[in-house]
Amino acid sequence: DQQVKQNSPSLSVQEGRISILNCDYTNSMFDYFLWYKKYPAEGPTFLISISSIKDKNEDGRFTVFLNKSAKHLSLHIVPSQPGDSAVYFCAASLGEGAQKLVFGQGTRLTINP
Amino acid sequence: DVKVTQSSRYLVKRTGEKVFLECVQDMDHENMFWYRQDPGLGLRLIYFSYDVKMKEKGDIPEGYSVSREKKERFSLILESASTNQTSMYLCASSLGLPEAFFGQGTRLTVV
């Protein structure tokens, strides 16, 4: 029972364009969401997060959007750069004080020159 | 910077062996986690610990146990390794916020 789903296993985007990665969740009790980035042979690194009291959070080239009614969030990367090529994981938790993260399956993003 | 160090990058073990995966963090974090990453399944939580000698089962604890005798160290134990435990194992630590810091991973192959 996958509570956090990333339905696109892979995505290919041209350098300089916008990358949009999507994530859906089923548990309405989740109220804090995170994105992690993972390069091969390395552990995931935290990228950006959003609380359910917001619908948007921005950090440089990265913006996360949250649509609670649709139980959907997305990560926008603008402009995309070759170094953004990695696997991106969406994760959810039951609030900022919660200990456990539930991860999606991941989306492999490839930025083409 | 937070550092989470896993003792091995690559391990090859035989079926039935007892396997220890070690993880050390240097930031005095209360919480530590063990995940495994498999293609198409993402990261799945095996066990986590919120204090020394305290542990809780995650989503897939079967076939695994853990040990946390010191705050900085969290060990994952495969009591009798099986081929379906071939995977990438990731250790993480956190301060109680959802943001977790991960080690570089251990690629375990059971033959």
**What pLDDT, on the 0 to 100 scale, is given for residue A2?**
78
Nearest to B68 by CA among B77, B80, B59: B77
Q: Residues near B105 by Cβ (< 8 Å), separated by ≥ 6? A: A41, A42, A43, B6, B9, B37, B88, B89, B90
Nearest to B38 by CA among B107, B111, B110: B107
Distance CA B42, CA A89 (A): 8
In chain B, how many domains are there? Answer: 1
**What pLDDT, on the 0 to 100 scale, is given for residue B110?**
98
Computed on alpha carbons and rounded to an integer, the radius of gyration of chain A in Å comes to 13
* Cα–Cα separations (whole angstroms), residue B68 to A15, A30, A99, B32, B65: 45, 28, 17, 9, 11
Residue in chain B lying closest to A7 (CA):
B40
Six-digit token string for B2: 């937070």
Domain boundaries, given as residue ranges, for chain A? 4-112
Find the domain containing B18 and state its range: 4-110
Interface test with B, best of A7, A10, A99, A102 (most B CBs within 10 A): A99
Does A100 sit within 8 Å of B45, measured CB to CB? yes
Nearest to A14 by CA among A80, A67, A68, A93: A80
**What pLDDT, on the 0 to 100 scale, is given for residue A97?**
62
**What pLDDT, on the 0 to 100 scale, is given for residue A96?**
60
Residue type, A105: Q
Residue B96 has pLDDT above 90, yes or no: no
Q: Residues near B68 by Cβ (< 8 Å), separated by ≥ 6? A: B32, B49, B51, B52, B53, B54, B55, B74, B75
- What does pLDDT average to over chain B? 93
Query: What is the secondary structure of B24-64 as a DSSP string?
Result: EESS--SEEEEEEEETTTEEEEEEEEEETTEEEE-S--TTE
- A48 at the B interface (CB within 8 A)? no
Distance CA B71, CA A4 (A): 30
* Cα–Cα separations (whole angstroms), residue A27 to A11, A23, A71, B58: 25, 13, 8, 17
Six-digit token string for A75: 């990560």
Low-confidence stretches of chain A (pLDDT < 50) are: none
Please answer whether residues A112 and A10 qualify as being in contact, where contact means their C-beta atoms are separated by less than 8 angstroms.
no
Q: What is the pLDDT of residues B20-70, one digit of tens each?
A: 999 999 989 999 999 999 988 999 999 999 889 889 999 999 999 999 999
Domain harbouring B46, CATH code: 2.60.40.10
> What CATH topology corresponds to A4-112?
Immunoglobulin-like (2.60.40)
Distance CA B74, CA B58 (A): 15
Does B41 sit within 8 Å of A105, measured CB to CB? yes
Distance CA B94, CA B33 (A): 9
Does B96 sit within 8 Å of A97, measured CB to CB? yes
